[in-house]
Amino acid sequence: MNTEIEVSKILFAGGHDLVREALTDYLRRQSGFEVLQTKNVEAASDLYAKDGPFDLVLLGCLGTDSKALDGLSQMRSQYGCSVAILSTKTTSEAAQRALDAGASGFLPKSLKPEAMVAAMRLMLSGEVFSPDAYLTENAPAGAVQLTPRERDVLQGLVAGKLNKEIARDLDIQEVTVKLHVKTLSRKLSAKNRTHAAMLARDMGLV
């Protein structure tokens, strides 16, 4: 039996030095991550050319997000890679601008370490990570904001399918389905997957 863990290569560039170094060290101590870091986007481009390709580029952002968005555009156009933004400016506008620009995710610096790792794994699986608390802060009271993929998973839950069946139908990993189910349960204030499916029907979400 092959128990070898697949390792994902991550390039972390920019942002606050202490934050970048601490997160890099934390990710390196988790299973399945190889992380290189550099101080800015310019150096990241050189490092990518030298040691790439990378499975994900994470750009740190200080204050204004304009430089990070420029870096996002540069890295995507130059290397066609997946790029996410880690930001100190956690507003719905900043998050939406990043996602609209093609980011694989927008990660608030306030995310707990475990949540940060889960978000990284989600993006590495090909999904987009969106910080629900910030994207929905201006939503109407009581509104439930779901991403297209979350609706796909929710439809599977309503149909009574297992995680592995939903994963097969959507051509994604089962661990990704589990992350979506957890997010859906939180958004719907559901006790479990069955409860989430019942609430979704009652709320007309599917």
Q: Which residue has the higher pLDDT, 156 or 142?
A: 156
Q: Which CATH superfamily is domain 8-135 in?
A: Response regulator (3.40.50.2300)
How far is C-alpha 90 from the geometric centre of its chain's CA atoms?
Answer: 15
Residue 128 has which token pair?
A: 């987009």
Strand partners for 59 = 13, 85
3-class DSSP state for residue 53? coil
Q: How far apart are CA 61 and CA 63, in angstroms?
A: 7
Q: Residue ranges per domain, the chain?
A: 8-135, 148-203
Strands 8-14 and 33-38: parallel
Q: How far apart are CA 134 and CA 116, in angstroms?
A: 16
| pLDDT band of 137, cuts 50, 70, 90 | very low
User: What's the CATH number for 148-203?
Assistant: 1.10.10.10
Other C-beta atoms closer than 10 Å to the C-beta of 172 total 18
pLDDT digits (tens, 9 = 90+) for 42-59: 899 999 999 989 999 999
3-class DSSP state for residue 12? strand
Q: What is the pTM of this model?
A: 0.66
